[in-house]
Amino acid sequence: MPSLAKQWDKAPPCPSERSSDASSSLRRFLAALLLLASLAPAAELPYFSVLSDDAGAWPQILSSIGLQRQPAGVSHIFVARTGAAASVEWYGRVERGAILILEGESSLADLFGFRRSRKDPVRVQSLTDVHRPTLSIVWEKGLELPVFDIPQGAQVFARERWTGAPMTAGMKRGSGAVLWVAAPPGEHGSERFPYLLNALADLGLDPPFRSNRLWAFFDSAYRTRVDVDYFAARWRKAGIAALHVAAWHNFEPDPQADAWLKRLIEACHREGILVYAWFELPHVSEKFWADHPAWREQTALQQDAQLDWRKLMNLTNRECFRAVGDGVRAEVARFDWDGVNLAELYFESLEGIANPSRFTPMNADVRALFRQQAGFDPLELFTTRADDVSRRAFLDFRAALAHRMQEEWLAELDQSRRAKPDLDLVLTHVDDRLDTGMRDSIGADAARVLPLLDTRSFTFLIEDPATVWNLGPERYPAIAERYRSLTAHHDKLAIDVNIVERYQNVYPTKQQTGTELFQLVHHAAGSFARVALYFEYSLLPPDLKLLPAAASAVSRFEKMGPKTVVDSAAGAGIPWKGGARVDGELWPAQDDDTLWLPAGPHAVEPAPPSAAPRLLHLNGDLKAARAIDAHTLEFTYQSASHGIAIFSRPPRKLQIDGVDEPPRFAGPATLLLPRGQHVVTLTVE
């Protein structure tokens, strides 16, 4: 099991403590400027350069929203670290579009008006930031920093909480901008200034790439009486492709609750967002718990298993299983779901057998099954049989029981698929490969479940266990590697990133936000085919604008004459205005600001504006597209559920795989398309 304590190395020294070879830095700086002077402005390139041999954490920060590190001669964003030499060349460079980040004290910072004041230094350990003024930002290790004067017209983004001393500030100059920070951002880039990237966005930095593939969990108990149209549009802008909606609130039919959920699904579909029914079995619903006390799960203390918010039912009992199965299938049929998510279908608790007050399943049916197999009542594990051999026998039995339960429920939902062939299935399963204690704690055993991917079609959504929420983004490639060795279906592996207040001592914020969140999402997107966020309500407003950039996974961006070559693992959107050709074909997959590309390498170049219809948004994997004439476009897509496509003009005629089909409208110019891989030919008015 990995250590749960975050290992922070010694904090970087404050500006007054840093030492550098000034003459060497000056030579490198002037050489970079000479190279810059010989090149045309490259403001459209998503490149950054750190003008120092020691780049610090700046590459981790800037790459988390897709920016790529390149030599100074082709870069658009520059980081000048503490002690950087001044040069008046930077005035013109910034005026023409460069973004300059100044760290701490230097003659270059002084040149732009960020100067040490005559005030006494301050001890800094807590900040306030304009992006989230009420958020508590606390440094693990405080620093004594000089107080700086800020140039007239600059905006202060973050201040020391008690003295108001400026900690980050910036200003626009011409078509460029300058951002100043009072100290290095920390070893990993997220320890001190959560909203550096948000400040850069405020100063005019446009993220270079965009993804529209995120999933998010949604609980309507946190969004009562909201405008569903407003939120659906906001979710789409944040790059959310699917909402996994808490289905236990609608397990029993209720006219008012059902009408609200139907409006939510319709609003999401109009915006091109899929909606999944999210079940948290063995929790069924409040009413089901109240109506069936005899079917309640029991803890090892023989108490009803009401643990945290979940009220667990005994699904081993065949009558209970059939009643819940009938209810689940009825709810799936009652709404226009695009998929079903079976989440956390195992047992309690994270403390395992060490805490009998939370340990399940200890109902009479499970105890009888185990007694028949092992010859003793598992309640004896807490009295006369507290030996390792006996406990191991029950823990192994329990893991096998959880696997049987998961297999049964996947089979149950396959029945729903017969009536709804476009229905996608997801199994959310806590990670037990990085934290191997999860198998004994809750009965989760991924190695048992993953072979089911050979015979059943579903996505295996890996959930971060709470025990590792304090660890850094590098855990996601490590988790991915462990699961890839267990299955060949790598495209069916997804990761659930929990955005919650963590119980561990974490800094600078209890909940992941800003740079830390972007780093988590970016590493996750680079390691898995799909990233889910738990949950929609916990996404803070300052993070929404940059989430789609963090979720993009572009490995190459290169200018080759008039062409731009973009290579991505799952497809990506790039900022684009006007007509375009992709790989030589007139390209219809773009809205007014973003051009959407399929996975793999593609060459994009400007083209005259086209009268052809455009594919503004596609919820599915775009494989190919072309504009046939002024009224017709064709594209190929693949989707595990419905595809949803939004067009620039209302469709008049639809062909799928060469066969005329009646359009299924979700909005004036929005169509629901079938599951699978298909070629769509569309004629508009």
pLDDT, tens digit, 9 for 90 and up, residues 440-486? 999 999 999 999 999 999 999 999 877 787 788 999 999 999 999 99
Residues of the chain with CATH 3.40.50: 15-202
Confidence category of residue 258, pLDDT binned at 50, 70, 90:
very high
Rounded Cα–Cα distance for residues 11 and 145 (Å): 13
Kindly tell me if the per-residue pLDDT of 271 is higher than 70: yes
Question: Which token pair is 636?
Answer: 């190929």
User: What is the per-residue pLDDT across 289-331, written as a single tens digit (0 to 9) for each?
Assistant: 999 999 999 999 999 999 989 999 999 999 999 999 999 999 9
CB < 8 Å & 24+ apart, contacts of 552-556: 552/66, 552/209, 552/210, 552/211, 552/522, 552/525, 553/211, 553/522, 553/525, 553/526, 554/66, 554/208, 554/209, 556/601
Angle subtended by helix axes 475-484 and 514-527, to nearest 10: 20
Three-state SS string over 477-493 comes to HHHHHHHHCCCCCHHHE
At 17, is the pLDDT very low, low, confident or very high (cuts 50, 70, 90)? very low
- Mean residue pLDDT across the chain: 92
pLDDT band at 225 (very low <50, low <70, confident <90, very high): confident
Residue 237 carries which side chain, given as an amino acid letter?
K
By three-state DSSP, how is residue 361 classified? coil
Structure tokens, 339: 């998929």
| SS3 state at 588 | coil
For position 25, what pLDDT does the model report?
Answer: 46
pLDDT (tens digit, 9 = 90+) per residue, 393-427?
999 999 999 999 999 999 999 999 999 999 999 99
pLDDT at 505: 86
pTM metric for this prediction: 0.92
| E-assigned strand segments in 137-213 | 137-145, 148-149, 155-160, 166-173, 176-181
Q: What is the mean pLDDT of residues 481-501?
A: 95
Q: For residues 55 and 546, give the distance between their C-alpha atoms in angstroms, rounded to a whole number.
A: 23
Question: 247: which residues sit within 8 A by CB, 6+ positions away?
Answer: 277, 278, 279, 331
Sign of CA dihedral 198, 199, 202, 204: negative
User: Cα separation of 394 and 639, whole Å?
Assistant: 41
Q: Is the pLDDT of residue 19 over 90?
A: no
Q: Is the pLDDT of residue 5 over 90?
A: no
At 44 the pLDDT is 65
pLDDT of residue 13: 37
For tokens 């919820």, the residue is: 619
What's the mean pLDDT in 678-685? Answer: 94
Average pLDDT over residues 530-558: 96
643: Cβ contacts below 8 Å, ≥ 6 apart: 618, 619, 620, 637, 672, 673, 674, 675, 678
For residue 592, count CB atoms less than 10 angstroms from its CB and return exposed for 0-12, middle for 13-18, buried for 19 or more: exposed
Burial label for 48, CB within 10 Å (0-12, 13-18, 19+), is buried
61-105 tens-digit pLDDT: 999 999 999 999 999 999 999 999 999 999 999 999 999 999 999
**Position 572 confidence tier, pLDDT thresholds 50, 70, 90:** very high
Backbone angles phi, psi at 494, to 5 degrees: -135, 165
Q: Which residues in the chain are classed under CATH 3.20.20.80?
A: 214-297+308-351+423-550
Task: Take residue 376 and report the two structure tokens written for it.
Answer: 């003793």
- Residue 366: name the closest of 436, 446, 283, 282 by CA: 282
H or E segment to which residue 289 belongs:
helix 286-291
Supply the pLDDT for residue 504: 83
CATH number for 15-202 (one of 3.30.1360, 2.60.40, 3.40.50, 1.20.5): it is 3.40.50
Lowest mean pLDDT among 165-179, 267-281, 471-485: 471-485
pLDDT(261) > 50: yes
Task: Return the bridge partners of 125, or none.
Answer: none
Percent of the chain with pLDDT over 90: 89
Position 42 scores a pLDDT of 34
Q: What is the pLDDT of residue 31?
A: 44
- Are the C-beta atoms of residues 67 and 38 closer than 8 Å to each other? no
Over residues 178-203, mean pLDDT:
97
Pairing of strands 339-343, 424-430: parallel
The residues, ordered by sequence, that sit 6+ positions from 260 with a Cβ below 8 Å of its Cβ are 220, 228
Which CATH architecture does the domain made up of 214-297+308-351+423-550 adopt? Alpha-Beta Barrel (3.20)
350 or 594, which is more confident: 594
More confident residue, 577 or 34: 577
- Which tens digits make up the pLDDT trace of 27-47? 444 444 443 433 333 336 899
Q: Are 166 and 119 in contact (CB under 8 A)?
A: no
